[in-house]
Amino acid sequence: MNILLKSATVFDPKSTHHNQTVDVLIENGLISKIDNNISCPTNCDEINLENLIISNGWFDASVSFGEPGYEDRETIANGIEVAAKSGFTQIGLNSNCYPYTDSKSIVNFLKTKAVGTAVNIYPIGSLTKKSEGTEIAELYDMQQAGAIAFNDYKKGTQNANLIKIALQYTQSFGGLVMSYPSNCNIAGEGLVNEGINSTRLGLKGTPALAEELQVSRDLFLLEYTGGKLHIPTISTQKSVALIKEAKAKGLNITCSVSADHLTITDDELASFDANYKIAPPLRTQQDVNALIEGLKDGTIDFITSDHDPIDIENKKLEFSHAIDGSIGLESLFVSLQDILGLDLLIEKITTTPQTIFGLSNSTITEGEKANLSLFTTKGTKTFTQEDILSTSTNSAYLGKKATGKVYGTYNNGILTLA
C-alpha cells in the first residue's frame, strides 16, 4: 500500500529530519521521499491526521495472546490487530499458551501465523520443558527457529542449578536467559503486595522479599557463570538497587518494568477489583518512584505492556479466585507519556529493547523500510472500555487518565489505523 503522510513530525534522533514537520511518501513499503510539501502521486492514499507524530515502530517485549490453547482469551490474528492499532510493529510473544513454546515446531507455528501481517512476532521460548522448571528445553533448536530469548512466563525457577546450567549452556550460541523474579516459597499463597493495604483489607500478602531474594540469587549466579541474563517486570525499590549494583560490577544484566507498575499502586486494591490482581503485585508509591528513577538513570532498560488477556470467566470472580493478569497494549503509550516524557518513553520501547534482543533498528530516512508508529501527544481523556481492542477486557488502567492518542502503524507495507 502506497501512502503519503502529510504534515508528520518526525521523532527519530538518528534521522536528519528529527523534530521536523514534513511530508513522508511511502512506496512499496519503503520511504521513497521526505520533503516539506509532496504531492500525492497516482495509486497513493493521502493520510491527514491531526498533530501527527511518527517514530520508528515500537517493540513490546512481553506480550501474551491465548493461541494456541486459549483462543477464547485472544487469538493471534486479533492480537496482531490490537498491537498494530496500539502502535506496536514488533512483539515478543510469551510462552503463555498450551502447548507451551518449548520446541522449534511451536516457534515455527507462531512465526507462520504472523506472515503477511502488520506486526512481526518474535517468540520467546520456554526455558524449561512445559515451563515446569525441572528440565532445560530445546534452547538451541528454538533459537535457530527464531526464538529471541527463553523464559518460563510468570514462573520463578526455584532450582538455582537449572539457571546456572542455562546461563552456561546459552553462552555457546549467544542465547538470552530470562528469569522471573519470584521465590515461590516466600511468596506462598499471597495475592497482593504485603504491606499496610494488604493488612487493612485482609488480603494475603506477598512480601517484596520474594522478588528481591530471587533477583539477588540470579545476580550471584550470573556473576559466577557469565552469560546474558534478563530479569522481566521488576517491581520493588530494592530490586532496582540490586540491579544497579550489578551493572556497576560490569555484569551482563538487563531488566524491564511493566507500564502498570509505573502508574498504579496497591492503593487501588480497596475496590477489590480483580483487574488489579497482577503479577508481580502492584506495589507502593515509593516503589513506583524508584522504578521511574531507575528508568531515567538507565538501571531499568525498557518498558513492556505485559499484555496478558484473561477471559471474563477467569477474571470476573472473587478476588482470591481470579487469575493474575492485565491487558496493556492499548494503554501503554497514553498512560506513560506524561510521566516519562516522549524522549525517554520512545527510547524504552524502541532502540533499547531492540538492541538487547538483537533486532534491527530502523530509521526514518529515504530508502529505508517504513516501520512506523503513528500517534499524537495532544489531548486528554479517561481510558474506558471503548478504548479496549482486545477480546478480553481485563485492563488495570480503566478509569485512569489517558494523554495523547495512538493512530496506528505502518509496517510490512500495511497501514493499520485505530
Note the pLDDT tens digit of each residue in 245-257.
Answer: 999 999 999 999 9
Q: Is 306 a catalytic residue?
A: yes
* Count of CB atoms situated within 10 Å of the CB of 47: 21
Question: pTM of this prediction?
Answer: 0.97
Q: What average pLDDT does range 74-96 have in this prediction?
A: 98
Note the pLDDT tens digit of each residue in 23-63.
Answer: 999 999 999 999 999 998 888 999 999 999 999 999 999 99
Taking the CA atoms of 313, 314, 315 and 321 in sequence, report the sign of the dihedral they define.
positive
pLDDT at 399: 97
Q: For residue 16, give the DSSP letter.
A: T
Note the pLDDT tens digit of each residue in 391-400.
Answer: 999 999 999 9
Q: For residue 258, give the DSSP letter.
A: E
Note the pLDDT tens digit of each residue in 368-387.
Answer: 999 999 999 999 999 999 99
The catalytic position among 12, 60, 287, 306 is 306
* Count of CB atoms situated within 10 Å of the CB of 212: 21
Chain centroid to CA 84: how far?
14
- Give which of 388, 412, 411 is closest to 54, Cα–Cα: 411
- Give which of 262, 331, 250 is closest to 296, Cα–Cα: 262
* Contacts with 237 (C-beta within 8 Å, 6 or more apart), sequence order: 208, 286, 287, 289, 290, 291
pLDDT at 42: 87
Residue ranges and CATH numbers for the domains of the chain are: 3-53+365-417 (2.30.40.10), 57-356 (3.20.20.140)
How is residue 328 written as a grid cell? 496493556
